Amino acid sequence: MSDVKRYIQKRAKRDSEFAQNYEAGYADFKIGVILRQARESAGLTQEEVARKLRTKKSAISRIENHADDVRLSTLRRYADAVGANLQIKLAHSQGI
């Protein structure tokens, strides 16, 4: 286990607010990374995806970098634009 993971585990045990905020922040970050990876795998630029969604490149950048408030309909359209299927999974939290 890395030093960072050990630190996060210890801090989360003694600070429940940190644990909750960390989980939410990590989930948002992970969504953005998944979107960017799907776009890159499709060989598309942010500009090309923006054209397909009839929006601006800055909107695509915001979606990929700040995925904390993205509508489900936007995620569906994004997935279509990059030739992917949107799948949603609910799972019980395993903790940090």
pLDDT tens-digit profile, the chain (96 residues): 677 678 778 888 888 887 777 777 777 778 888 999 999 999 999 999 999 999 999 999 999 988 778 899 999 999 999 999 999 888 876 655
Rounded distance between C-alpha atoms, residue 5 and residue 62, angstroms: 28
What per-residue confidence (pLDDT) applies to 94?
65
Instruction: Kindly report the CATH number that applies to the domain delimited by 3-81.
Output: 1.10.260.40
What per-residue confidence (pLDDT) applies to 23?
74
Rounded distance between C-alpha atoms, residue 44 and residue 40, angstroms: 6
| Contact between residue 23 and residue 93 where contact means Cβ atoms under 8 Å apart | yes
What per-residue confidence (pLDDT) applies to 96?
52
What per-residue confidence (pLDDT) applies to 59?
94
